[in-house]
């Protein structure tokens, strides 16, 4: 996927912070960070998010902060466990039949499937649990890339 190529799947993190509504109505600041394999080349991006439907707060819309919300893409919290510290995130409704289930597109909006954890160190049991949940929900998990979260710079 163009916004996070496999070459940047090292020490990936995202920080979400509530904020006052912006001119375009965004209420969440998102700071994304990823490194290349050498772990010295860093890529950072700040974007904004807002709840797309107040009746379904798990469905967000995200975009660069300077774009109005009509240009934002879907970003859905499909499942989460606050106590265990994980979330399954989809770039909206999957619409493409994949190898082993449905998947999203490959562009910037309407694409992506992620497993988020609060802990930086990978917990294989949690990752496998969330992968199994994704399969149970009909997602094609062959789109997931492993991320190296070891020896990350501060």
Mean pLDDT for 66-93 is 96
Q: Which residue has the higher pLDDT, 124 or 2?
A: 124
Mean pLDDT for 64-76 is 95
Mean pLDDT for 104-122 is 89
Cβ–Cβ < 8 Å for 28, 45? no
The structure tokens listed for 114 are 């992620």
pLDDT beyond 80 at 1: no
Transcribe 109-128 into DSSP letters. Answer: TTB-EEEEESSSS--HHHHH
Of all residues in the chain, what percent carry a pLDDT higher than 90?
86
pLDDT beyond 50 at 31: yes
Confidence of residue 97 (pLDDT cuts 50, 70, 90): very high
> pLDDT tens across 129-152, in order?
999 999 999 999 999 999 999 999
Mean pLDDT for 2-29 is 90
pLDDT computed for residue 109 by the predictor: 85
pLDDT beyond 80 at 3: no
pLDDT computed for residue 154 by the predictor: 77
Cβ–Cβ < 8 Å for 86, 130? yes
pLDDT beyond 90 at 19: yes
* pTM, to two decimals: 0.91
Compute the C-alpha angle 11/17/49, nearest 5°.
90
Chain-wide mean pLDDT for the chain?
93
Closest CA to 60 of 95, 22, 92: 92
The structure tokens listed for 140 are 């094609």
């Amino acid at each position: 996927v163009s916004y996070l190529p496999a070459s940047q799947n090292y020490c990936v993190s995202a920080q979400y912070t509530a904020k006052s509504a912006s001119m375009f109505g965004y209420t969440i600041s998102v700071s994304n960070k990823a490194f290349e394999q050498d772990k010295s080349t860093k890529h950072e991006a700040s974007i904004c998010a807002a709840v797309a439907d107040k009746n379904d707060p798990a469905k967000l819309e995200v975009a660069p902060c300077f774009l109005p919300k009509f240009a934002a893409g879907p970003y859905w919290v499909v499942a989460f466990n606050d106590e265990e510290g994980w979330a399954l995130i989809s770039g909206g409704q999957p619409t493409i039949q994949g190898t082993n289930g449905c998947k999203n597109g490959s562009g910037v909006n309407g694409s992506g499937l992620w497993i988020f954890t609060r802990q930086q160190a990978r917990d294989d049991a949690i990752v496998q649990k969330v992968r199994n949940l994704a399969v149970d929900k009909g997602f094609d998990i062959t789109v997931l890339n492993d991320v190296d979260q070891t020896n990350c710079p501060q």
